[in-house]
Amino acid sequence: MTNDSLYGLLAEFNSAERLLDAAQRARDAFAPAALEAYSPFPVEGLAEALRQKRDPIPPAMLLGALFGGVGMFALEWYASVFNYPINVGGRPNGSWQAFLPPAIEMTVLFAVLFGVLTMLISNGLPRVFHPLFAVPAFERASGDGFFLLVRADDPHFDAQRARDFLESLTPLTISEVAA
């Protein structure tokens, strides 16, 4: 297969420890963005071994919370002070205490919405097809398989060098993933 028709090389390992060791050794040989690991359960230290970038969900949730809370408070204040002021029992039009419960509700709602949308976008979901789905062994990734993928989208990717490196890790199998 040529580099143009190759999505990457997929190596299967028999344990989480072997996968972690392989990921640690592969991070020095390949660009961190070209590596992905798949396992049926979280493996302690795997994210650090792959040098994964920071999680974008907490900043997005903070932005959503600020947007929802401040937006709702501003809407209530505008409605009661400028748009439709009503004198109720001599209280001021901009009585902030009455605005807090809806503003807190919108803070929580928008934080959750921004968090879920960011999670879906950062995971690339919804994904109808992925090249890994065509590899028969990859069906076991959610059961008992431990996989390390070296993607071919790096301009310096050399398929033979990557295959030789993966073979030096003694995986169970190495599969070519078609693009």
Answer yes or no: do 24 and 79 share one domain: no
Identify the pLDDT of residue 118. 97
Residue 47 lies in a domain: no
Answer yes or no: do 62 and 88 share one domain: yes
Answer yes or no: do 104 and 160 share one domain: no
The predicted model gives 122-132 an average pLDDT of 87
Quick: pLDDT tens for 150-162.
Answer: 999 877 788 899 9
Residue 98 lies in a domain: yes
CATH number at residue 24: 3.30.70
- Mean pLDDT for the chain? 90
Which three-class secondary structure state does DSSP give residue 151?
A: strand
Q: How confident is the model at residue 103 (pLDDT cuts 50, 70, 90)?
A: very high
- Tell me what percent of the residues of the chain surpass a pLDDT of 90: 60
pLDDT at 17 over 70: yes
Answer yes or no: do 35 and 62 share one domain: no
Alpha helices in the chain (DSSP H): 16-29, 46-49, 57-78, 96-122, 159-168
Answer yes or no: do 63 and 35 share one domain: no
d(CA 116, CA 127): 16
Work out the burial of residue 89: count CB atoms within 10 Å of its CB; fewer than 13 is exposed, 13-18 middle, 19 or more buried: exposed
Residue 52 lies in a domain: no
Answer yes or no: do 104 and 75 share one domain: yes
Q: What are φ and ψ of residue 158, in 5° steps?
A: -125, 115
Quick: pLDDT tens for 31-90.
Answer: 877 899 999 999 999 988 888 778 899 999 999 999 999 999 999 999 999 998 888 888
Count of the separate structural domains present in the chain: 2
Domain that holds residue 152: 3-39+145-178
